[in-house]
Amino acid sequence: MTAAAIPRVLIADADPWMRDLLTQMLLSVRCDAELDICVNGNEALEHLRRLPDLVIAARELPGIDGLDLLRNVRRQRREPALPFILLSDRSDSASVREAIPLAPTAYLTKPLNMDGLKQRLHQLLLQVDEEVFCEVPALLPGMTLHGFLDNRRQNTDGGPLLADVEAAVKRSLNPKGLNLRLLEEEVRTDPQVTAVLIAAANSAAQHRDGNVQTLLQALNKLGATQSMNLILGMTLKRSARLTDPLLAEQAQVYWALSLRTAEYARILARQLEVDQERCYCAGLLHCLGDLALLRALQEWRLAGGTLTAEEIARALKEYGASYGSELRVRWRLPLELRELVAAVYQLGGGVYSRERLAMNLSAQLARLQPEEDLSAVASSKTARLLKMGLPELTQIRRP
């Protein structure tokens, strides 16, 4: 392959979050690359017929594993040899020695060193000092905002980044590595980071020892390197930051509401002696759909669409809730966490747990304007069930 040609790259990994991370890393080097994304070795073997210019495959693939996939590639005796980066959970000398006769271009162990991988991709896909620039794809003729948002809902990447996560990672690094407790304190206010790490920690590749439902649990499950890779990988995506002033202003409103709800949820959970961190996460995540919609609206603008303040408000009202539901289901957030997010909006039927009551009451408090009194909240069904009157609510609201 010459660097001037558009490369075709085959990526094969069973973990959806690793596939996404590899995709973003590769597109950050060659945004014009044509990608074939596979979830198992059998599918990857089929895609080899399309003659890729580079293969990045996990050794631990379902079906035909990555080592057998590499063995199949080398049997073809292609000249020059097809570049093949083999990823593996195994770093022991016996596993490495087994792969060496098959001449992988690189044998990289997980969690990956993303700087090292990016350097190799530059060497394989670009000439010295070459850069590739890609324009945002234009809207299809006749595409309406309604049609665009309907289509985007099925594959939204979630909300924009609101915290300065690059600076947070740097502040959390020390000579001994990444301090997970400090990193959690730095990024815990960002809904997108929280949701992605919890979802990644609950993926099939990581799912052991029960559900992960808080950010700190997710960081500990994923470990320092994988957590850092996922966080920095989010910064590589298009519209990771909102640059449109109208959309950024709306995002700040929803972020502030999320933070108020999360803080009230923590206070109420502490008083009710239930899980404070899980309630905090549920409060933080309840506006993720609205934030994801704002990110989709920026993509609409970048693709050439027009947008008014009235259209933004109408889109939020029509699509915000459905974007949130789509994300929580597609990312397979734990059912218990989803139920707490749902309780922010309404209690529903059945038996009311103290956690669900805490979430509902925290949302009522968070939505109050500073000049509004607490009478309506005190008379609500939730407050009555928790036996919280004006004195108790006034004390809670004071912080």
Average pLDDT, the chain: 92
Per residue of the chain (399 residues), give pLDDT as tens. Answer: 444 589 999 999 999 999 999 999 999 999 999 999 999 999 999 999 999 999 999 999 999 999 999 999 999 888 899 999 999 988 899 999 999 999 999 999 988 888 889 999 999 998 877 778 787 788 989 999 999 999 999 999 999 999 999 999 889 988 877 899 999 999 999 999 999 999 999 986 555 667 899 999 999 999 988 899 999 899 999 899 999 999 999 999 999 999 999 999 999 999 999 999 999 999 999 999 999 999 999 999 999 999 999 999 999 999 999 999 999 999 999 999 999 999 999 987 778 999 999 999 999 999 999 889 999 999 999 999 999 999 999 999 875
Q: Is the pTM of this model over 0.75?
A: yes
Residue 143 forms part of a structural domain: no
Q: 72, 98, 125 — which closes off a domain?
A: 125
Residue 368 forms part of a structural domain: yes
Residue 142 forms part of a structural domain: no
Regarding whether 280 and 223 lie in a shared domain, the answer is no
Residue 270 forms part of a structural domain: yes
Residue 56 forms part of a structural domain: yes
Among the listed residues 349, 338, 388, 342, the one whose alpha carbon sits nearest the alpha carbon of residue 365: 388
Boundaries of domain holding 59: 8-125
Q: Which residues pair with 85 in a beta bridge?
A: 56, 106
**Phi, psi torsion values for 34, nearest 5 degrees:** -95, 125
Cα three-residue angle 204-210-215, rounded to 5 degrees: 85
Q: 234, 254, 282 — which closes off a domain?
A: 234
Among the listed residues 235, 207, 233, 234, the one whose alpha carbon sits nearest the alpha carbon of residue 222: 207
Q: Provide the pLDDT for residue 1.
A: 47
Q: Provide the pLDDT for residue 2.
A: 46
Q: Provide the pLDDT for residue 355.
A: 96
Regarding whether 219 and 264 lie in a shared domain, the answer is no
DSSP conformational letter for 398: -
What CATH number is given to the structural domain containing 382?
1.10.3210.10
Q: 195, 212, 234 — which closes off a domain?
A: 234
Q: How many domains is the chain built from?
A: 3
Regarding whether 296 and 257 lie in a shared domain, the answer is yes
Regarding whether 173 and 105 lie in a shared domain, the answer is no
Regarding whether 55 and 15 lie in a shared domain, the answer is yes
Regarding whether 278 and 360 lie in a shared domain, the answer is yes
Regarding whether 304 and 226 lie in a shared domain, the answer is no
Q: Provide the pLDDT for residue 53.
A: 95
Distances (CA, A) of 112 to 64, 93, 125, 223: 22, 18, 19, 12
Residue 333 forms part of a structural domain: yes
DSSP conformational letter for 203: S
Please give the order of strands across the beta sheet that includes 54-58: 34-38, 8-12, 54-58, 84-88, 106-109
What CATH number is given to the structural domain containing 79?
3.40.50.2300
d(CA 141, CA 340): 42
Q: Provide the pLDDT for residue 247.
A: 97
Regarding whether 178 and 119 lie in a shared domain, the answer is no
Regarding whether 387 and 299 lie in a shared domain, the answer is yes
Regarding whether 279 and 214 lie in a shared domain, the answer is no
Residue 69 forms part of a structural domain: yes
Q: Provide the pLDDT for residue 64.
A: 94
d(CA 33, CA 389): 61
State the CB neighbour count (10 A cutoff) for residue 352. Answer: 16
Regarding whether 114 and 177 lie in a shared domain, the answer is no
Residue 147 forms part of a structural domain: no
Regarding whether 208 and 258 lie in a shared domain, the answer is no
Q: Which stretches within 81-162 are classed as H helix?
A: 93-99, 114-125, 145-153
